[in-house]
């Protein structure tokens, strides 16, 4: 077999994308008009630890971090996507926003005050088991569009028929 260096480099770049692609969530970003709606559900306290997970679209993290005095963190397993967001963040000099290249199933969320996700919970219940073991009391979960059937929502925002639901849960 004759594989050259360029092919190996392309493979190394593509493998993380392939893994990300299998992540059982639609590659559809949160609608811009909904940024304020989910933020209203949460009502951040100063220097809350906020995490956005299971999302390639870090704009939710940027928006929350730029408009609130919070520690905003975005966790992403796919290195090229992470690197792009990281460089953008360094250029913008956002001190309260950070990005980590990590597997969320191995990440410790015990300091989280608010977690935002846009993912299909029914396909991956083990994340909820992890939350149950790890999250402190009163940690809030915002689930955009998808209901988490194992948890009881404390609020559901869906102002009109055309709006996507946003679910608020609390541990
Ligand atoms: C399908 S995408 C996007 C979902 C969301 N609807 C959006 O558009 O922002 C899921 C993202 O989660 C990331 N991801 C998948 N599994 C992960 C894991 N175990 N740890 C961290 N990030 C992960 C993928 O790399 C991808 O960027």
Mapped to the 3 state alphabet, what secondary structure does 41-54 carry? HHCCCCCCEEEEEC
162 pLDDT above the threshold of 90: yes
23 pLDDT above the threshold of 70: no
Q: How far is the CA of 55 from the centre of ligand 1 (A)?
A: 4
Domain boundaries, the chain: 5-170
Q: What is the mean pLDDT of the chain?
A: 88
24 pLDDT above the threshold of 60: no
Residue 8 confidence (pLDDT):
63
Q: How far is the CA of 26 from the centre of ligand 1 (A)?
A: 9
- The CATH number, out of the four listed (3.40.50.150, 2.60.34.10, 3.10.580.10, 3.30.1490.480), of the domain defined by the range 5-170: 3.40.50.150
Q: How far is the CA of 104 from the centre of ligand 1 (A)?
A: 9
Residue 10 confidence (pLDDT):
62
Helix (H) or strand (E) holding 76: strand 71-76
Compute, in degrees rounded to 10, the torsion defined by CA atoms 126, 96, 39, 25.
-30
Residue 60 confidence (pLDDT):
93
**Residue-wise pLDDT tens digits, 92-135:** 899 999 999 999 999 999 999 999 998 877 767 889 999 999 99
Tell me, using a 6 A CB cutoff, whether residue 103 lines ligand 1. yes
What confidence category does residue 55 fall into, taking pLDDT thresholds of 50, 70 and 90?
A: confident
Q: What is the pTM of this model?
A: 0.87
15 pLDDT above the threshold of 90: no
Instruction: Please report the atom of ligand 1 found closest to the CA of residue 54.
Output: 12
Residue 120 confidence (pLDDT):
77
Q: How far is the CA of 4 from the centre of ligand 1 (A)?
A: 31
Tell me, using a 6 A CB cutoff, whether residue 60 lines ligand 1. no
Q: Among 18-27, 54-63, 90-99, 107-116, which is the least confidently predicted range?
A: 18-27
- Tell me which residue has its CA closest to atom 25 in ligand 1: 20
User: Which residues are CB-contacts of 125 (< 8 A; sequence separation ≥ 6)?
Assistant: 150
**What distance in Å separates the CA atoms of residue 63 and residue 61, rounded to the nearest whole number?**
5
Residue 29 confidence (pLDDT):
87
Residue 121 confidence (pLDDT):
73
Return the best residue to mutate from 15, 16, 19, 54 for the ligand 1 pocket (most ligand atoms within 8 A of CB): 54
17 pLDDT above the threshold of 60: no
Q: How far is the CA of 156 from the centre of ligand 1 (A)?
A: 23
């Amino acid at each position: 077999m004759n594989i050259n260096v360029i092919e190996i480099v392309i493979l190394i770049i593509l493998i993380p994308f392939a893994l990300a692609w299998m992540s059982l969530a639609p590659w559809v970003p949160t609608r811009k008009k909904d940024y304020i709606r989910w933020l209203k559900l949460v009502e951040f306290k100063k220097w809350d630890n906020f995490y956005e997970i299971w999302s390639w679209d870090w704009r939710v993290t940027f928006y929350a971090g730029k408009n609130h005095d919070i520690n905003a963190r975005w966790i992403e397993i796919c290195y090229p996507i992470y690197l792009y967001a990281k460089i953008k963040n360094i250029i913008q000099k956002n001190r309260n926003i950070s990005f980590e290249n990590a597997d969320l199933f191995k990440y410790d969320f015990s300091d989280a005050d608010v977690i935002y996700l846009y993912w299909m919970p029914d396909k991956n219940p083990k994340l909820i088991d992890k939350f149950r073991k790890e999250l402190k009391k009163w940690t809030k979960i915002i689930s955009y569009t998808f209901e988490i059937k194992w948890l009881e929502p404390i609020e559901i925002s869906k102002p009109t028929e055309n709006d996507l639901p946003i679910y608020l849960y609390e541990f």
